[in-house]
Amino acid sequence: MMTSEFFTTWFLPGVWVTVQVTVLSAALGVAISFGIGLARGSQYWIVRFLAGAYFEVFRGMSALVLMFWMFFALPLFGWQLVPLWAGVSALGLTYGAYGSEIVRGSLAAVTPAQKEAGIALNFTRLQRLRLIELPQAWPEMVPPFNNLLIELLKGTALVSVITVADMTFAGNLLRLGTNETTPVYTLLLVLYFVLAFLITRGMRLLERRAKAGIGQLPVKNGGTTRKAGARGESLQAGSQSAGGMG
């Protein structure tokens, strides 16, 4: 029987551990996503090769097997990770590889006119990334990052197999102690759904703010919806003016 004591002792702390694993893994994954995603567009072939190798290797790995390797095999080389960090590292490395493709694809989708405008204005590569390409690519990254973050949330259940006391681990303990399989796993499904829903709402708010930052809020025009790209139009105009002066 599910008791209030179990909830306060195991289940609620388990939910908090799940949130911690999700946040920490997402932070590592975002850092890797942008690092590898930007490196795959580098002008130096060796950087592109190494970034592409990372993407291919970790995209093809099982997060669970990598977690086992980091927890059980890594100590043989003199590195001992606590279960939480073994899980966070495995999830962050794996999902960071998927995220790097989102970054690379979104940057590649920025129109050539925008990039040419930065060149015409004599911007350095870093300035073009910071002022032109990333601000326009970021709103396109948010929806796929939202999906990836939800997949990461669901993937945190894997850490229970290396004794991290997340809510899946707590649910399994409760099932073994009470033999109430259906109520326990139904509760887990509901909790994962609630967390995923909160992530989706937060990411949609972030997407709206990102689009508002570059003047791409939806605008009603004759009964249809269009995107107003004030910043992009001004950059294109700058590019055309610079071209005309040349």
What does 145-191 look like in DSSP terms, one character per residue? HHHHHHHHHHHGGGGGGGT---HHHHHHHHHHHH--HHHHHHHHHHH
Look at residue 1 in the predicted model and tell me its pLDDT.
55
Tell me how many degrees the CA angle 203-209-210 measures, rounded to the nearest 5: 85
Look at residue 42 in the predicted model and tell me its pLDDT.
86
Look at residue 128 in the predicted model and tell me its pLDDT.
86
Note whether 179 and 30 are within 8 A (CB). no
Look at residue 224 in the predicted model and tell me its pLDDT.
38
Look at residue 230 in the predicted model and tell me its pLDDT.
41
Whole-angstrom distance, CA of residue 68 vs CA of residue 62: 10
Whole-angstrom distance, CA of residue 129 vs CA of residue 107: 9
* pLDDT tens digits for range 10-34: 778 899 999 999 999 999 999 999 9
> How close are the terminal C-alpha atoms of the chain, in Å?
79
What confidence tier does 209 reach under pLDDT thresholds 50, 70, 90? confident
Q: If you average pLDDT over residues 49-57, what whole number do you get?
A: 95
Does the pLDDT at position 183 exceed 70?
A: yes
Does the pLDDT at position 78 exceed 80?
A: yes
Does the pLDDT at position 145 exceed 50?
A: yes
Look at residue 234 in the predicted model and tell me its pLDDT.
42
Q: If you average pLDDT over residues 148-154, what whole number do you get?
A: 96
Does the pLDDT at position 141 exceed 50?
A: yes
Look at residue 117 in the predicted model and tell me its pLDDT.
83
Using CA atoms in the order 177, 179, 185, 187, what is the torsion angle rounded to 10 degrees?
A: -70
Secondary element (H or E) of residue 215: none
For 145, the token pair is 């990052």
For the entire predicted model, the pTM comes to 0.82
What confidence tier does 217 reach under pLDDT thresholds 50, 70, 90? low
Q: If you average pLDDT over residues 122-130, what whole number do you get?
A: 84
Look at residue 102 in the predicted model and tell me its pLDDT.
95
Does the pLDDT at position 36 exceed 50?
A: yes
Chain centre distance of CA 174: 31
